[in-house]
Structure 1
Amino acid sequence: MQRTREEAINGLLPEQREALILERLRTHGRVLAAELAAELQTSEHTVRRHLRDLAGQGHCKRVYGGALVVSPADKPAAVRMHEAVDRKARLAAAAASIVRPKQIILLDAGSTNVAIAAALPENADLTVVTNSPEACARLLNRPGFDVILIGGRIARGAAGSLGATALLQIQQIRADLCFLGACALDPDEGVAAFDAEDAELKRAMVQASSQIAIALTSEKLMTAAPFAVAPTSAVDYLFVEADVPRARLASFEAVCDNVMAVRP
């Protein structure tokens, strides 16, 4: 006789229950302990224990009421530069469309932001301040750009300058628009980074800019990283891919002023 779903759930071994929770995390990004407890017909204490174990294995980050899957962006910059190149180029073209002539643009390091550097309009009399040598290289010898490269120690993982020198220089800037790099983004948990110094520099960029824009690929949405940068409500423009589910998109629209789904 075929087992009912309820019987199947009741018969789960602890490791099977944990595997199911991990599957939910990877599918939805965020899970809530109360909902999982009801679905799995077990206690919230048991679910929280599973989430704690999964967090200890590096699969997720505990947040209030549940957990978030860890962002997949914790890779060397040299690897990220060659991933999803076409997708990042589409996001970059959409992001560059909000730039206006004569603006001072603060451009954070990151593979998508390097694509934005390449997409910025020429002959617009733009001043671009960046901590990314790669982004700087995309702008040199193009007409209409005054490029300022932020100095300091070049962090291999971030492919951009970090540390006290970079932080001091950023604090002396007053930018019209910042294209901020984001390792992870969640409506409730905000923008996050994997490196403490990187997060500190990003916070300084937010403080130095009148408007904040973020363009990021779908796999970074509803994910976590260890170091907080800014609340999602601080983001004025969010550019995401068109394959983001409607419910997930709505959760960002509730806290961001302008959320734009970029179609292929």
Structure 2
Amino acid sequence: MSIELLLRERKLLIRERLRTNGRVLAADLAREFNVSEDTIRRDLREMAAAGLCERVYGGALPIAPDAGSLSERAALAPESKAALARASVGFIRHGMTVFLDAGSTNLTIAQTIEPGLSATIVTNTPLIASALLEKPGLDVILIGGALDRAVGAAVGARAQRDAALMRPDLCILGPCGADADAGLTAIHFEDAEFKRLIAARSRSVVVAVTTDKLGTAAPYVVIGIDGVSTLVLEAGAPEAYIAAFTAQGASVVLATGSAG
């Protein structure tokens, strides 16, 4: 059997381990395939360069899901997102200033806010701002600049200058991937930069995450789990993820009625 064939088969097996187990560790793969850790690390680097995994310390994670534009993502898993939204809106209290970040689950949160709530909601996402306009108790601030079509929001230099002037009581972040070691990550560079900035400006950070994003990573780091106040997860979220998040100091709330 040629070296090329061995390499191809090894990478196929690594991809299978990523699908079934999530995180893979270079040391474990080296023992399983009877090769050196350097060989496995090279395999993982090549796979990451090809967009097949995301390298993290000691191994690799599956790539965070990318389901298209914000409106396309909003149509996926509506029951799960509705349950996460119901569990998340309670963190928004009367009189607060809240930043509602770009994300399809956050769009559902905006739609779920009770019309009688009196608060100021700041967002960089036109679809979220539009959903809030029908709620008379809310003051809505849309920060702007050029819109990133893939993100569905303004995340560039103008939006970042506006965000730097904010000091929200609460930020509800919308990450692309969430892992105890890799932290919260985003697919697009400027989106990650914007999220990191507004999270740092906020007194507390809440993140509602669908189960498909758990144990995955995107190319750009937002913040570590130790920078998150509360993670809202689906009711069926695996215990291993819950334990890993709480070990990092984050509170975990499970959304009842989600399709976990």
Q: Specify the SS of the correspondent of 2:166.
A: coil
The question of 1:176 aligning with 2:169 is answered yes
Match of 1:29 in 2: 22
Q: CA deviation at 1:74?
A: 5.8
**Aligned residues with identical type, % of pairs:** 44
Given candidates 77, 102, 119, the residue that maps to 2:70 is 77
Once residues 129 and 249 of structure 1 are traced to their aligned partners in structure 2, the CA distance between those partners, rounded to angstroms, is 29
Runs of 5+ consecutive residues of structure 2 not aligned to the other structure? none
Q: How many residues align?
A: 253
After TM superposition, the structure 1 stretch with the greater mean CA deviation from structure 2, 151-160 or 43-52, is 43-52
Contact 1:81–1:111 at 8 Å: present in 2 too? yes
Deviations 1:243-264 (A, max 9, x none): 2221122111111431112232
Match of 2:208 in 1: 215
Q: Specify the SS of the correspondent of 1:127.
A: strand
The question of 1:202 aligning with 2:195 is answered yes
Contact 2:185–2:219 at 8 Å: present in 1 too? yes
Once residues 233 and 31 of structure 2 are traced to their aligned partners in structure 1, the CA distance between those partners, rounded to angstroms, is 32
Once residues 29 and 205 of structure 1 are traced to their aligned partners in structure 2, the CA distance between those partners, rounded to angstroms, is 29
Match of 2:100 in 1: 107
Contact 1:238–1:256 at 8 Å: present in 2 too? no
Correspondence list, 1:1-264, <5 A: 13-73=6-66, 75-264=68-257
Contact 2:114–2:135 at 8 Å: present in 1 too? no
Q: Specify the SS of the correspondent of 1:21.
A: helix
Q: CA deviation at 1:49?
A: 2.7
Contact 1:178–1:205 at 8 Å: present in 2 too? yes
- What TM-score do the two structures reach when normalised by structure 2? 0.92
Contact 2:86–2:255 at 8 Å: present in 1 too? no
Q: CA deviation at 1:144?
A: 1.1
Match of 1:164, as an amino acid? A
Once residues 230 and 106 of structure 2 are traced to their aligned partners in structure 1, the CA distance between those partners, rounded to angstroms, is 14
Deviations 1:94-114 (A, max 9, x none): 011222111111011111110
Runs of 5+ consecutive residues of structure 1 not aligned to the other structure? 1-11
Q: Which has the larger Rg?
A: 1
- What TM-score do the two structures reach when normalised by structure 1? 0.90
Structure 1 runs (4+) greater than 4 angstroms displaced? none
Q: 1:41 to 1:244 in 2, by over 3 A?
A: farther
Q: Specify the SS of the correspondent of 2:116.
A: coil
Contact 1:199–1:229 at 8 Å: present in 2 too? yes
Q: Specify the SS of the correspondent of 1:224.
A: coil
Contact 2:115–2:134 at 8 Å: present in 1 too? no
